Amino acid sequence: MSAANYSTQGAVAVITLDNPPVNGLGHELRNGIMAGLDRALADAAIKAVVLIGAGKSFSGGADIREFNTPKAGAEPTLHSLIRAIEASPKPVIAAIHGVAMGGGLELALACHYRVAAPGAQIALPEVKLGLLPGAGGTQRLPRVVGVETALNMIVSGAAVPSERLKSSALFDALLDGDLLAGAVAFAGKLSPEKPPRLVRDIPIDYPNAEGFFQFARTMVATVSKGYPAPLKCIEAVAAAVSKPFEEGLAIERELFLQLMQTTESKALRHAFFAERAASKIPGVSEDTPIRNIRTAAVIGAGTMGGGITMNFANAGIPVTVLEVKQEALDKGIATIRKSYEASAQKGKLTAAQVEERMGLIRPALSYADIAQADIVIEAVFEEMGVKEGVFRKLDETMKPGAILATNTSTLDVNAIARFTRRPQDVVGTHFFSPAHVMKLLELVRGSATAPDVLATVMALSKKLKKTGVVSGVCDGFIGNRMIDPYARQAMFMLEEGALPQQIDAAMEKWGMAMGPFRMADLAGNDVSWYIRKRRYLENPQLKISRIADRICEIGRFGQKTGAGWYRYQAGKRDAIPDPAVEDLIVAYRKEIGVTPRRISPEEIVDRCIYALVNEGAKILEEGIALRALDIDLVYLTGYGFPPFRGGPLFYADTVGLYTVARTMNRFATNPHGDPEFWKPAPLVARFAAEGKSFNEAGRVP
């Protein structure tokens, strides 16, 4: 079966691109289009050809299912198809609706005419994968929409609605009504005497080009640190202006191939795939039935409960919030309203939308009011006794089949499940703060969690516009379990000679959105203090610097108290280095008898990141994470890990695990080093010896 359908309407051949969901230009579809074109050319009765997409769009570009497979480069390639269309003596008309993106738009640009439905999204988003459009997009788009618009579109990758490009030469007509009928009528009116017109032949007249490109380079260089693609996009578009078409195409090709080889593009493509792959859960087949989530309930209207409630309301799902006391309930609802109103003031929501969302939120003090909810998410205090009370009550009151979820960050989800007589319905849904903003949602699979419950919360995460990643049960799950050794290394470096601002600066320069100390001040030092105290009791052998305790003992909990590892001015979030903290650190070093040494930014980065990597390897080997990419995704979406580095394990792969293991061994011998900490995890040691990488190896059996 071909992915392109051929039909005729009078003297017009219609080739329908039919490769759901977005008519990705996979091999079969490319073959089908080529065959359709040949058939039309061979038929003397046919005077013109219309290319149109089945379903909701023209074409979303390359078929991502084909990436990294031989089919991606198999003939006919997109380049061959484009050449064949350009060479066609009969005019080819692209009829665009929905989306024309990437290769889809490049295909349309090779056609002799383009007509579009209003509201079609037009984009060349390759830059988002660290690439540039490699099938003529950088050469043809400037010829039809102008150099500046084209450059903006190519450098940003942003989609532009077809109406905004209405007056450009991109479209010969914007058609209301039935697109196919309109396109066929348009084709029928083309004069047979007029030779087909090609975008490549449109001259570019741009007198001030050099000044403009210089300005663009300066602007883009400042905002694209760590990302080579945007500057290469400028070079490619500059070639469209300064070189003959074929030379420009060759330059585009060369730049594209260079970008394909960059670590940054490989990292971005890894992240792109990870995002799609994470929803595929080994052991949970794709046809697992999903429980219907029409209504939700949240227990606890505090920091997290409030944010979680907003997620449901934002997705249009009615949600009931339950608290024990009226006062706490009122406070929680008022905080939600305030948050929505702040969004409205910033112009992100209309007043009507605020009311609509508030209208979906129902306050409650009684379990009877939530009993019929399809899912309930518990977000009460992080104490097992409190959770027990809640889950016993839920077990008594919730309707059969309701999903009982907990937002716990550190407690044992299996133990929580055992408070009920339906552990198969219990699952962890670990949101990150602020819950209505952060993309990451760890889905914690208990030993009894039913496959359909897991599949349902994974589907729900998409509805809530979150990135769901499955984690097994362990202390801290994937993300926080890894952050613990990371933070411990940061603390040891304070003891050894660095200051919080030096460590943060090194990590931020490397690409982290926030260094460990700024992050701790934001999250609240009291939270980790509370967790540490438990850990001291559980594992007295664990080597943990006590320096953070000192900060907490004098009430420096972070931004919320105006002082933490930094000091803060009232109402501001700027972290100001504080000599009082330096004094405290210096005194502490004396107390423990450490002579400070200078720690280089490279050592800071390696120690923090390899601490993540080593723990990540253990998490992978234990099966807590299903795949290396799940761990990477957790860090990319929940911890401000730089996308151009692809996540901690992908980054370790790019360094090479042999080198990573050697560096760990070196850290073990540091003065004041911790050989136990730096023992490479068995998986790191094995892969280092075998020359393997985490991401090639996939899930470890």
Question: Which residues are near ligand NAD by CB under 6 A?
Answer: 299-305, 322-324, 328, 332, 379-382, 386, 389-390, 407-409, 431-433
The tokens of 390 are what? 């809640």
Residue closer to ligand NAD by CB (options 307, 515) is: 307
> Do the beta carbons of residue 55 and residue 99 sit within 8 Å?
no
SS3 state at 642 = coil
Which helix (H) or strand (E) segment holds residue 216: the answer is helix 209-223
Tokens of 413: 């989800």
73 Cβ contact partners less than 8 Å away, ≥ 6 residues apart = none
**Closest residue (Cβ) to ligand NAD?**
302
Is residue 547 within 8 A of residue 525, CB to CB? The reply is no
Strand extents, DSSP E, 185-316? 296-299
Nearer to ligand NAD, 389 or 596 (CB): 389
Nearer to ligand NAD, 130 or 332 (CB): 332
Nearer to ligand NAD, 101 or 470 (CB): 470
Residue 461 near residue 468, CB atoms below 8 Å: yes
- Between 105 and 299, whose beta carbon lies closer to ligand NAD? 299
Question: Cα 82–84–86 angle (5° rounding)?
Answer: 70
Q: How far apart are CA 118 and CA 179, in angstroms?
A: 10
- Give the Cβ contact number of residue 410 at 10 Å: 16
Cis peptide before 318 (omega within 30 of 0): no
Task: Reduce the DSSP state of residue 256 to 3 states and report it.
Answer: helix
Kindly state the smallest distance separating residue 390's Cβ from ligand NAD, in Å.
5
Cα-Cα-Cα-Cα dihedral sign, residues 265, 266, 272, 275: negative
Q: What angle do CA 581, 584, 588 make, to 5 degrees?
A: 140
**Interatomic CA distance for residues 445 and 667, integer angstroms:** 35
CB of 331 vs ligand NAD, minimal distance in Å: 8
Least Å distance, CB 307 to ligand NAD, is 8
Closest CA to 83 of 235, 249, 237: 249
Backbone angles phi, psi at 15, to 5 degrees: -105, 115
- In the complex, the smallest distance separating the C-beta of residue 636 from ligand NAD, rounded to whole angstroms, is 18
Q: Which residue type does 118 have?
A: P
Phi, psi of 96 (to 5 degrees): -105, 130
74 secondary structure, DSSP code: P
Contacts for 292 with CB less than 8 Å, ≥ 6 apart? 374
Element (H, E) at 245: helix 245-260
Is residue 384 within 8 A of residue 393, CB to CB? The reply is: no
Our CA dihedral for 588, 594, 595, 598, rounded to 10 degrees, sits at: -80
* Cis before 76 (ω within 30): yes
* In the complex, least distance from residue 294 CB atom to ligand NAD, rounded to whole angstroms: 23
Q: In the bound complex, what is the minimum distance in angstroms from residue 619's beta carbon to ligand NAD?
A: 18
What whole-number distance in Å separates Cα of residue 601 and Cα of residue 369? 55
**C-alpha–C-alpha distance, residues 539 and 26, integer Å:** 55
Residue placing its CB nearer to ligand NAD in the complex, 141 or 304: 304
The nearest distance, CB 334 to ligand NAD, in angstroms, is 12
CB of 175 to ligand NAD, least distance (A): 50
Rounded to a whole number of angstroms, the minimum distance from the CB of residue 322 to ligand NAD is 6
CB nearer to ligand NAD: give 74 or 324.
324
Parallel, antiparallel, or unpaired: how do β-strands 12-17 and 4-9 relate? antiparallel
Closest to ligand NAD by CB, 432 or 635: 432
Specify whether 126 is catalytic.
Answer: yes
Pick the closer one to ligand NAD by CB: 374 or 378: 378
Q: Which positions ≥6 away from 390 have C-beta within 8 Å?
A: 299, 378, 380
The Cα-based distances of 566 to 181, 267, 530, 558, 560 in angstroms read 66, 33, 20, 7, 12
User: Rounded to the nearest whole angstrom, what is the least distance from the CB of residue 341 to ligand NAD in the complex?
Assistant: 20
3-state secondary structure of 323: coil
Helices (H), 451-561: 451-463, 477-496, 500-510, 516-523, 525-538, 547-553
Active-site annotation holder among 28, 86, 126, 252: 126
- Integer CA distances (angstroms), 564 to 491, 508, 517, 535, in order: 14, 19, 9, 22
Catalytic residue among 66, 75, 86, 106: 106
Amino acid identity for residue 583 in this structure: D
Write down the least CB distance from residue 316 to ligand NAD, Å. Answer: 23
Question: What tokens were used for 481?
Answer: 């379990």
Going across the sheet that includes 4-9, the strands are: 4-9, 12-17, 48-53, 92-96, 113-116, 173-174
Nearest one of 119, 61, 117, 108 to 86, comparing CA atoms: 108
Closer residue to ligand NAD in complex, CB, 58/431? 431
Residues noted as catalytic = 106, 126
